[in-house]
Structure 1
Amino acid sequence: MKKWQKIGGIIAFALIVIYELLIWINAYVDMKYIVEPNENDFLEECMYMRIDSLSFGMWLNFALAIFLFICLWQKGGKQ
Protein backbone atom coordinates (compact mmCIF):
# COMPACT_ATOMS: atom_id res chain seq x y z
CA MET A 1 0.00 0.00 0.00
CA LYS A 2 1.10 3.51 -0.66
CA LYS A 3 1.59 5.90 2.23
CA TRP A 4 -1.43 8.02 1.33
CA GLN A 5 -3.62 4.90 1.24
CA LYS A 6 -2.48 3.91 4.73
CA ILE A 7 -3.13 7.40 6.09
CA GLY A 8 -6.50 7.54 4.34
CA GLY A 9 -7.46 4.14 5.76
CA ILE A 10 -6.53 5.13 9.30
CA ILE A 11 -8.48 8.39 9.02
CA ALA A 12 -11.49 6.52 7.58
CA PHE A 13 -11.43 4.00 10.44
CA ALA A 14 -11.18 6.81 13.00
CA LEU A 15 -14.23 8.51 11.47
CA ILE A 16 -16.13 5.22 11.41
CA VAL A 17 -15.38 4.64 15.12
CA ILE A 18 -16.61 8.13 16.02
CA TYR A 19 -19.76 7.64 13.93
CA GLU A 20 -20.49 4.22 15.45
CA LEU A 21 -20.02 5.53 18.98
CA LEU A 22 -22.42 8.38 18.30
CA ILE A 23 -25.03 5.99 16.88
CA TRP A 24 -24.64 3.66 19.86
CA ILE A 25 -24.99 6.50 22.39
CA ASN A 26 -27.94 7.96 20.49
CA ALA A 27 -29.75 4.60 20.60
CA TYR A 28 -29.44 4.48 24.39
CA VAL A 29 -30.58 8.11 24.71
CA ASP A 30 -33.62 7.30 22.55
CA MET A 31 -34.35 4.36 24.83
CA LYS A 32 -34.22 6.59 27.88
CA TYR A 33 -36.59 9.24 26.54
CA ILE A 34 -38.88 7.29 24.19
CA VAL A 35 -39.27 3.71 25.42
CA GLU A 36 -38.69 3.95 29.19
CA PRO A 37 -41.42 6.58 29.85
CA ASN A 38 -44.02 4.12 28.51
CA GLU A 39 -43.25 1.84 31.47
CA ASN A 40 -43.64 -1.29 29.38
CA ASP A 41 -41.01 -3.62 30.84
CA PHE A 42 -41.27 -6.19 28.06
CA LEU A 43 -40.79 -3.57 25.33
CA GLU A 44 -37.91 -1.99 27.24
CA GLU A 45 -36.13 -5.33 27.68
CA CYS A 46 -36.62 -6.24 24.01
CA MET A 47 -35.24 -2.90 22.86
CA TYR A 48 -32.17 -3.18 25.09
CA MET A 49 -31.51 -6.69 23.78
CA ARG A 50 -31.91 -5.48 20.20
CA ILE A 51 -29.56 -2.54 20.72
CA ASP A 52 -26.98 -4.77 22.40
CA SER A 53 -27.09 -7.35 19.62
CA LEU A 54 -26.87 -4.69 16.91
CA SER A 55 -23.95 -3.01 18.66
CA PHE A 56 -22.18 -6.38 18.93
CA GLY A 57 -22.66 -6.93 15.20
CA MET A 58 -21.47 -3.43 14.45
CA TRP A 59 -18.25 -3.86 16.47
CA LEU A 60 -17.66 -7.33 15.03
CA ASN A 61 -18.01 -5.93 11.51
CA PHE A 62 -15.59 -3.12 12.38
CA ALA A 63 -13.05 -5.58 13.84
CA LEU A 64 -13.24 -7.68 10.67
CA ALA A 65 -12.67 -4.60 8.51
CA ILE A 66 -9.62 -3.63 10.59
CA PHE A 67 -8.27 -7.19 10.35
CA LEU A 68 -8.60 -7.15 6.56
CA PHE A 69 -7.00 -3.69 6.38
CA ILE A 70 -4.04 -4.91 8.46
CA CYS A 71 -3.66 -7.98 6.25
CA LEU A 72 -3.66 -5.76 3.16
CA TRP A 73 -1.19 -3.42 4.86
CA GLN A 74 1.21 -6.28 5.64
CA LYS A 75 0.87 -7.73 2.16
CA GLY A 76 1.96 -4.37 0.82
CA GLY A 77 -0.45 -4.45 -2.09
CA LYS A 78 1.83 -6.84 -4.00
CA GLN A 79 0.28 -9.35 -6.35
Structure 2
Amino acid sequence: MNKWQKIVGVIAFGAIGICELLVCANTYLDLKYIIEPYDISDMIERMYLRADSLLIAIWLNYFISLALFICLWRKGGKR
Protein backbone atom coordinates (compact mmCIF):
# COMPACT_ATOMS: atom_id res chain seq x y z
CA MET A 1 0.00 0.00 0.00
CA ASN A 2 1.21 3.46 -0.81
CA LYS A 3 1.55 6.06 1.90
CA TRP A 4 -1.28 8.20 0.47
CA GLN A 5 -3.60 5.18 0.41
CA LYS A 6 -2.94 4.56 4.09
CA ILE A 7 -3.60 8.20 4.96
CA VAL A 8 -6.81 8.31 2.93
CA GLY A 9 -7.96 5.02 4.49
CA VAL A 10 -7.38 6.20 8.05
CA ILE A 11 -9.17 9.51 7.38
CA ALA A 12 -12.05 7.71 5.66
CA PHE A 13 -12.53 5.23 8.50
CA GLY A 14 -12.40 8.05 11.04
CA ALA A 15 -15.06 10.00 9.15
CA ILE A 16 -17.24 6.92 8.71
CA GLY A 17 -16.94 6.13 12.43
CA ILE A 18 -18.00 9.65 13.40
CA CYS A 19 -20.95 9.49 10.99
CA GLU A 20 -22.05 6.17 12.47
CA LEU A 21 -21.91 7.59 15.99
CA LEU A 22 -24.09 10.49 14.84
CA VAL A 23 -26.53 8.06 13.20
CA CYS A 24 -26.78 6.10 16.46
CA ALA A 25 -27.41 9.23 18.49
CA ASN A 26 -29.97 10.61 16.05
CA THR A 27 -31.82 7.30 15.88
CA TYR A 28 -32.36 7.18 19.62
CA LEU A 29 -33.25 10.87 19.76
CA ASP A 30 -35.86 10.36 17.05
CA LEU A 31 -37.30 7.39 18.90
CA LYS A 32 -37.39 9.35 22.15
CA TYR A 33 -39.02 12.51 20.85
CA ILE A 34 -41.07 11.33 17.83
CA ILE A 35 -42.23 7.78 18.64
CA GLU A 36 -42.50 7.73 22.45
CA PRO A 37 -44.96 10.66 22.85
CA TYR A 38 -47.67 8.54 21.22
CA ASP A 39 -47.30 6.07 24.11
CA ILE A 40 -48.10 2.95 22.08
CA SER A 41 -45.97 0.36 23.86
CA ASP A 42 -46.00 -2.24 21.07
CA MET A 43 -44.87 0.28 18.49
CA ILE A 44 -42.18 1.69 20.78
CA GLU A 45 -40.79 -1.75 21.55
CA ARG A 46 -40.72 -2.77 17.88
CA MET A 47 -39.03 0.47 16.84
CA TYR A 48 -36.32 0.06 19.48
CA LEU A 49 -35.72 -3.55 18.40
CA ARG A 50 -35.45 -2.50 14.76
CA ALA A 51 -33.13 0.38 15.60
CA ASP A 52 -30.93 -1.89 17.71
CA SER A 53 -30.68 -4.55 15.01
CA LEU A 54 -29.93 -1.94 12.35
CA LEU A 55 -27.21 -0.33 14.46
CA ILE A 56 -25.66 -3.72 15.23
CA ALA A 57 -25.55 -4.46 11.51
CA ILE A 58 -23.97 -1.06 10.79
CA TRP A 59 -21.24 -1.51 13.42
CA LEU A 60 -20.58 -5.10 12.38
CA ASN A 61 -20.12 -3.96 8.78
CA TYR A 62 -17.79 -1.18 9.95
CA PHE A 63 -15.57 -3.50 11.98
CA ILE A 64 -15.40 -6.13 9.24
CA SER A 65 -14.31 -3.55 6.68
CA LEU A 66 -11.83 -2.10 9.19
CA ALA A 67 -10.35 -5.58 9.74
CA LEU A 68 -10.02 -6.08 5.99
CA PHE A 69 -8.30 -2.68 5.68
CA ILE A 70 -5.85 -3.62 8.45
CA CYS A 71 -5.10 -6.94 6.74
CA LEU A 72 -4.47 -5.11 3.47
CA TRP A 73 -2.26 -2.61 5.31
CA ARG A 74 -0.12 -5.41 6.80
CA LYS A 75 0.07 -7.30 3.53
CA GLY A 76 1.22 -4.18 1.80
CA GLY A 77 -0.96 -4.65 -1.27
CA LYS A 78 1.64 -6.91 -2.90
CA ARG A 79 0.49 -9.40 -5.47
- TM-score bin (small chain): over 0.9
Q: TM-score, normalised by structure 2?
A: 0.98
After TM superposition, give the deviation of residue 55 of structure 1 in Å: 0.5
Where has structure 1 moved over 6 Å in runs of 4 or more?
none
After TM superposition, give the deviation of residue 19 of structure 1 in Å: 0.4
Amino acid at match of 2:26: N
Aligned to 1:67: 67
CA RMSD of aligned residues (A): 0.5
After TM superposition, give the deviation of residue 43 of structure 1 in Å: 0.3
C-alpha distance in 2, partners of 1:59/1:23?
A: 11
Please list every run of 5 or more consecutive structure 2 residues that lacks an aligned counterpart in the other structure: none
**Identity rate, percent:** 54
Please list every run of 5 or more consecutive structure 1 residues that lacks an aligned counterpart in the other structure: none
C-alpha distance in 1, partners of 2:11/2:78?
A: 23
Aligned to 1:21: 21
Instruction: Give the number of aligned pairs.
Output: 79
Deviations 1:10-61 (A, max 9, x none): 0000000000111110010100111000000000000000010001000000
